Amino acid sequence: MLKVKPAEGYPPEEGRYVRGNDYSPVAVCVILDTFDFAIPKELNELVMVGVDSGAALSGMLQTENIGIEKIICNIAANPNIRYMVLCGRESAGHLPGEALLALKQNGIDESRRIIGSTALTPFLSNIPVGLVQRFNHQIVTIINLLCKPGETDTTVPGLNPKVIEQAVRACYQEEPTRFMDYTVYDIGAYPEPPIYHKITAKLEQPQAHPEATQPGKAKMGLGLMLHKFLPQTDCQKCGKRTCLAFAIDLAKGKAKLDNCPYLSEPEFAENRRALSKLLEP
């Protein structure tokens, strides 16, 4: 069976995940349905069960755009990963679980919107279209254990550590194995080399932007670029009505990165570095 070494520097994107066995065929994706600083302990437990059961990566997905882009980058860098187990509760605000399933089923359109997603901003604008297609070919099945928003019963499959463990174990069996409605087994690595793509490596310096010579437009152009790296929750904790309004104030020097509390969280460390790079004088 084909197994390959992941790309040098794998996994390229940082986030709330744990790295396990690089040669495992499965990754676990737990939806994080809160923007509070305290992560519900039952969700942390699912992440740990995923990696302890033998997943290559096990972590959380919070947003329907950059969060999914980071997952795509990390999976394309490891061709051994052929399955995903999607679990946790759907996040009512962002619908990242629905967006991930829609992406696998339908792909993206010309505007890079995930076809069929009803999330607010399901756009994958920071990664090449080819990388999205690679993800959709490499991942053969997403085992969907996603629970409804607000679910509190931890015995339902998507919140039940024992079921997550069974799902992961089924994926690395040598013979076709039934797990709920799925038949899975370790089919070996995707037969193309790993792709190393880091979202922030593609950032243009704002000075290189064609509108940089026109002050008003330059601020707007920079604001739009900054917006891509904000959490995009429009939660208003920074005092602005939307993340875009905050981004434009950042571009004008009227706001600081510290005003957005999420940018101090580990999941957004890479985004914060990208934002700081864009804001360099």
Which residues are at the interface with ligand SF4 (CB under 6 A)?
Answer: 230-231, 233-238, 240, 243, 246, 260, 262
**What does the DSSP 8-state code read for residue 259?**
G
Pick 66 or 85: Cβ nearer ligand SF4: 66
Helices 96-106 and 66-76 cross at an angle (nearest 10°) of 50
**Min CB(268)–ligand SF4 separation in Å:** 9
Read off φ and ψ for residue 244, nearest 5 degrees: -65, -40
Residue closest to 199 by CA, chosen among 23, 11, 34: 11
First-residue to last-residue Cα distance in the chain: 52
CB of 187 closer than 8 Å to CB of 25: yes
Pick 135 or 262: Cβ nearer ligand SF4: 262
Pick 133 or 236: Cβ nearer ligand SF4: 236
CB of 80 closer than 8 Å to CB of 74: no
**Min CB(266)–ligand SF4 separation in Å:** 16
Pick 83 or 246: Cβ nearer ligand SF4: 246
Identify the three-state secondary structure at position 59.
strand
Pick 11 or 93: Cβ nearer ligand SF4: 93
**Min CB(239)–ligand SF4 separation in Å:** 8
* Separation CA 144–CA 146 (nearest Å): 6
User: In the chain, how many H helices and how many E strands?
Assistant: 8, 7
Pick 151 or 234: Cβ nearer ligand SF4: 234
**Min CB(240)–ligand SF4 separation in Å:** 5
**Min CB(238)–ligand SF4 separation in Å:** 3
Largest CA distance in the chain: 62
**Min CB(236)–ligand SF4 separation in Å:** 5
**Which DSSP string corresponds to 73-85?**
HHHHT-TT--EEE
**Min CB(276)–ligand SF4 separation in Å:** 15
Pick 63 or 78: Cβ nearer ligand SF4: 63
Q: What residues contact residue 34 under an 8 Å CB cut-off, 6+ apart?
A: 40, 91
